[in-house]
Chain A
């Protein structure tokens, strides 16, 4: 968690770099909504997809709470709709992840996949959040070989097998219950002697015949050569080591914002959420805006991510117009200055 930004890789030809008015980093609900608005504003946004095109919702099944889908919709289908709508107006989606940035001056510099330089007048950060892992070396090595952070994605591969899940919140309880559909036994491993989850979820899990709870227990290692064969554990009270003979290990200990890339450039809170000026998507770097789960630790919903994505595109458009990077906007009458000075622009926005 150093505060010094990672330097750009040497030897890139910045004079020949592709130059864009607006680059959007991420294709979850926030990034694709920003792309839709920016495209409709004629800004021809370039959208870098990152490691998870479509974002977190591509890992879930039904989304029942996104307005406009009265019968619910599959997460991946909804994200395909988002993409279709953004590209229809000219947003350009590109494979790859942004690996380096230099936000010291506008236009800003970005590097895609460590190799391709990209110059952007404005940047919208929509990198979302990812599941947290325990951080064990063997956990990483066995990812996809028994270790998973997505019960709905991978649960079905553990039919009639013994598995373990670590976590204590509502999401962990939901995943544990989901896993009982497949597994013969679900070991719930929790480091304390009580759960954070709501009472109703706790009751469901703790009373489930397939669930075995291990209180005051931490996972110290994931065991297995090519696939998970066991977990090494430790009792936090007695210090006693133990083993769980499981073939699956599900991690459900929350999410963390994907903002490491911007460390040292953008102000963040301790957990890594990028800070914004009140009532806006402005960061403290001019021309860089942030939306969605990368800045929101409170709501974390698809619809709020989309909402702030829209805000970011409008904020960026105004910023560009004020700096005459784009024209056609009367900045005196129609657009106010940065919300740093005035957080109450109160202007209606054209659709």
Chain B
């Protein structure tokens, strides 16, 4: 069972922007090596933060509008959203601990 949500250009507003929870969005593509490397970490974070934060995976090839809107220039790009706004961005393979700490911090300011 995967706890992450598949983001699209169509559902981005409801799933990411209009929610009270902090959101981690993983911009990725099938051809991107480091994206595959980080995929298991993203999935673990998604299950561990189930109910506390949302984790969204968005394929940039199929959803170019959202990728363009947030100026994605490199993947994996990990964007953190709070109250509909991007508050932080990390690029490349990031250790789970760093992601968890960020989500914890965003959760506390809720």
Contact = CB atoms under 8 A, between A and B. Distances in A.
B65 to A, nearest CB: 13
Interface stretch (B12-20, B45-53, B91-99): B91-99
Interface string A130-171: 000000000000011110100001100110000000000000
Contact of B93 (A53, A79, A80, A227): A53
Which residue, of A57, A146, A153, A248, has the highest number of chain B Cβ atoms within 10 A? A153
B96 A95 contact: yes
Given A53-B93, A143-B91, A144-B92, A75 B33 contact: yes
A228 B32 CA distance: 22
Given A95-B95, A95-B96, A96-B95, A144 B74 contact: yes
Nearest to A61: B31
Size bracket, chain B contacts? 20 to 34
A80 B73 contact: no
Nearest to B95: A95
Contacts of A248: 73
Interface string B77-98: 1000000000001011101110
Contacts of A76: 33-34, 36-37
Given A58-B33, A58-B34, A153 B96 contact: no
Contact of B72 (A52, A61, A157): A157
B14 to A, nearest CB: 25
A115 to B, nearest CB: 10
A244 interface: no
Interface string B22-50: 00000000011110110000000000000
B75 interface: yes
Tell me which of A113, A154, A157, A248 has the highest count of chain B C-beta atoms within 10 A of its own C-beta: A157
A209 interface: no
A54 interface: yes
Contacts of A58: 33-34, 36-37
B91 A144 contact: yes
Contacts of B71: 145, 226-227
A95 B95 CA distance: 7
B96 to A, nearest CB: 7
Contacts of B31: 61
A345 interface: no
A227 B73 contact: yes
Interface string A36-68: 000000000000000111100111110000000
A74 interface: yes
Nearest to B32: A153
A53 B73 contact: no
Interface string A80-124: 100000000000000110000000000000000100000000000
A144 B79 CA distance: 12
A144 B19 CA distance: 27
Contacts of B93: 51-53
A206 B50 CA distance: 54
B73 A146 contact: yes
Contacts of B60: 157
Given A145-B73, A148-B73, A226-B71, A54 B37 contact: yes
A158 B73 CA distance: 8
B95 A157 contact: no
A58 to B, nearest CB: 4
A148 B74 contact: yes
A53 B37 contact: yes
A74 B36 CA distance: 12
Given A59-B33, A148-B73, 6 more contacts: A58-B34, A60-B33, A76-B33, A80-B36, A144-B74, A145-B74
